Structure 1
Amino acid sequence: MGKGGSLTEGVLRKILLSYAYVGIWIFLSFTVIVFNKYILDRKLYGWPYPISLTLIHMSFCSALAFVLINVLRLVEPVSMSRDLFLNSVVPIGALYSLSLWLSNSAYIYLSVSFIQMLKALMPVAVYSIGVALKKDAFHMKTMLNMLSISLGVAIAAYGEAKFDAWGVMLQLGALVFEATRLVMIQILLTSKGINLNPITSLYYVAPCCFVFLLIPWFFVELPILRENSSFHLDFWVFGSNAFCAFGLNLAVFLLVGKTSALTMNVAGVVKDWLLIAFSWSVIKDTVTPVNLFGYGLAFLGVGYYNHLKLQALKAKEAQKKAAPEGNDEEAGRLLEEREPEATGEKRVSQA
């Protein structure tokens, strides 16, 4: 083929690879969510200990990240001072542990479909916290969009057949902590030029999560586990569950690294609809017409939010290309600072 044909093949290969990354991420994210629900739901596997499950994930991910970085040396470690670790990574690890704990706890009380509907509020939480911490500017147009998403989720909650107030509080709390974590990553790490991929992020953050989770685990779940002496940890169930959680982080790295965080956000909407369909058809969760109407309204709001993000990223990319050579680094940093805000996805024990 000529030069034009080679170019066409290269573009086609890139498109196919992008779809492959999206497919792998959706599959692993889907698997982790359903797997966690299976383990934690009292009517399924019947092991309702979310802190313990998250501790298993954190210990497994910490150990595997350590091996990949220090033994196999497949990933280069990030140079980090003690002060930066204590002032930046530790607070982010604390927020992450709370987010994972509460989100996994919600699986005990809520259906998979309804949890995915509640997760549509992530852009609302990220934007609101960003404005409160002066990381984002307030725009009435954006706020109206956030209100439309909130209205849609409220309608979906009103139509939920098995509404559980405690479960909703747990999931909303998880969203608030995760949104705060995403904003803090921008403030504490990205603004200082520290960019962690999922492996190095787990290497530093997962041990912090493990330590923070030990405190509530010691008082809340350890006494119950001691009384339940008949239970034996199934290596294949929990090992494969932790491995899937780690694989999800690798998929995130591939998807965001090879495409963009916005692509992952858009793919997340597709994954949510698939999970709702799976929850209704296979798990036999009740999904009402009011549920679907409310989530459909929220979906339109999230879609418009993603459209605005895409326009903003295009504008910044154009600014980067038009900037003088000396300002390329600064323009690139501006673009990178916007990407964590677009993700809105949990990484390890949830998706």
Structure 2
Amino acid sequence: MATTKREHDGADERLMEMELPTMHNPSPPVPTPPAPPPAAPSSSLQLHPAFYVVIWIALSSSTILFNKWILSKRKTPVDGETEPEQAFPFPIFLTTWHLVFATLATQILSRTTTLLDGRHHVKMTGRTYVRAIAPIGFFFSLSLICGNKAYLYLSVAFIQMLKATTPVAVLIASWAMSLDNPSRNILANVSFIVFGVVLASWGEIDFQLGGVIYQVLGIGFEATRLVMVQRLLSAAEYKMDPLVSLYYFAPVCASMNFCIFLATEAWKITLDDIVNQVGLLKLLANACVAFGLNVSVVFLIGRTSSLVLTLCGVLKDILLVVLSIVIWGTTVTLLQFVGYSVALGGLVWYKLGPEKVMEHAAVLREMVRTRRALGLAVVGVGAFLVLGVVWYAFSGPERDVV
């Protein structure tokens, strides 16, 4: 039984290392090896870890919302009237643009800063690049394309609910590739996540099968990529931080995405779509926010615990659901609310393990007991915010679901 627990803890630890964000799929991102993080630029000012966590949450959420805003349908008032709904239905172009920007940015940073000095410790050869990096880049490209395609059909809130199954997909992929041994206990733990997401999906009002298929495929491709990278990083000579990973993966992913773009969207997109419908400055800002997310990860690694990262990841997902309700008027049903709550609870239970959950729950109870006024205030404010969001989602004027 002790062996099973150690295997469970090891699987949780490795999965946690893969749960930092990437530029298009902020949850989860490029796997992070247990190697020491690259040194941040030296400064006499030492910032609190909470600063880096807040920046990561802000950039991670902004990347998703920005992508959704560009790709989704919207109405523009002109002369007191509302024009027909418009959209920028070119997710592959957007993904390709992000990867081209990331390729150029990492090349510039490698020549002007020390952020990418970790690449000098990676024994990258042409043979390794073709046999390891290129296949991983292939699945990376597919996950990004499918993830962005889903924004054309589904709300941000529902996509976040579906993404809660990513750890389950990673676990299954690791079993399929023999990186971990199947465990009945772990399977029982993740079953709560699956059950919660099934409930949330059942309660979705604007359920579109095409969007769900794209999102499920994206999760599957992402899980495969993460496990392949985990296998690559198991060798000491290939350990790299997220920014160095992007330095190697972005060029091959950009090339693959560009080929797919030529075959699927190049004959439909026009210069007017790029310049007038979205705008060059907005595309540049979108790419900068996405790339800034990867840079923030480099500064975040090693400055906080896995518990904080797990809870902050859950907080970010909840924040995205709330913002989807507020910005796009997404309707969330009671069944979805219950299902997503079950999924998030199962996610925390799986990542931290029963022992840590009980340990931190005891610490929280003790803090509430000794600081009753503060505890009641926190609980009261939290309950008020939750009830406010639930009321806004379930009532009020009828809103369009995008």
State the TM-score, normalizing by the size of structure 1: 0.80
- Pair 1:52 & 2:96 matched: no
Give CA-to-partner distance per residue, 1:260-306, whole Å, 9 cap, x none: 56643431111011111111123211111111111111111101012
- Pair 1:258 & 2:303 matched: yes
Q: Distance in 2 between matches of 1:104 and 1:310?
A: 37
- Pair 1:211 & 2:252 matched: no
Aligned to 1:274: 319
Aligned to 1:30: 61
Preserved CA contact (<8 Å) 2:102 2:291: yes
Offset, 1:310:
8.7
Secondary structure of 2:105 counterpart: helix
2:272 to 224, 230, 236: 230
162-171 or 209-218, larger mean C-alpha shift: 209-218
Q: Which runs of 5+ in 2 are unaligned?
A: 1-44, 76-85, 357-402
Aligned to 1:111: 155
Q: Distance in 2 between matches of 1:216 and 1:28?
A: 27
Give CA-to-partner distance per residue, 1:213-258, whole Å, 9 cap, x none: 1222111100111xx4532432210000000000000112222242
Aligned to 1:329: none
Secondary structure of 1:219 counterpart: helix
Aligned to 2:49: 18
Q: Which runs of 5+ in 1 are unaligned?
A: 1-12, 312-351
Aligned to 1:86: 130
Preserved CA contact (<8 Å) 1:18 1:259: yes
1:132 to 168, 171, 176: 176
Preserved CA contact (<8 Å) 1:126 1:179: yes
**RMSD between aligned residues:** 2.2
Secondary structure of 2:200 counterpart: helix
Secondary structure of 1:130 counterpart: helix
For residue 46 of structure 1, what is the amino acid of its counterpart? A
Secondary structure of 2:88 counterpart: coil
Aligned to 2:330: 285
State the TM-score, normalizing by the size of structure 2: 0.70
Offset, 1:189:
2.9
2:340 to 292, 295, 298: 295
For residue 313 of structure 2, what is the amino acid of its counterpart? G
Give CA-to-partner distance per residue, 1:14-55, whole Å, 9 cap, x none: 8x7221111110000110110000000122662111110011
256-265 or 286-295, larger mean C-alpha shift: 256-265
Q: Distance in 2 between matches of 1:260 and 1:178?
A: 24
RCO higher in 1 or 2 (8 Å CA, sep ≥ 6)?
A: 1
2:191 to 134, 147, 170: 147
Q: Distance in 2 between matches of 1:236 and 1:92?
A: 31
For residue 32 of structure 1, what is the amino acid of its counterpart? T
41-50 or 96-105, larger mean C-alpha shift: 41-50
Q: 1:221 to 1:261 in 2, by over 3 A?
A: farther
Aligned to 1:168: 212
Offset, 1:192:
4.5
Give CA-to-partner distance per residue, 1:163-209, whole Å, 9 cap, x none: 11110111111111111111111112333431222221121100110
Q: Distance in 2 between matches of 1:243 and 1:186?
A: 27
Identity in percent: 37
117-126 or 192-201, larger mean C-alpha shift: 192-201
Preserved CA contact (<8 Å) 1:255 1:264: no
Preserved CA contact (<8 Å) 2:310 2:348: no
For residue 254 of structure 2, what is the amino acid of its counterpart? F
> How many pairs are equivalent?
298
Q: Distance in 2 between matches of 1:29 and 1:82?
A: 33
Q: Distance in 2 between matches of 1:261 and 1:309?
A: 15
Preserved CA contact (<8 Å) 1:56 1:242: yes
Q: 1:242 to 1:122 in 2, by over 3 A?
A: same
For residue 150 of structure 2, what is the amino acid of its counterpart? A
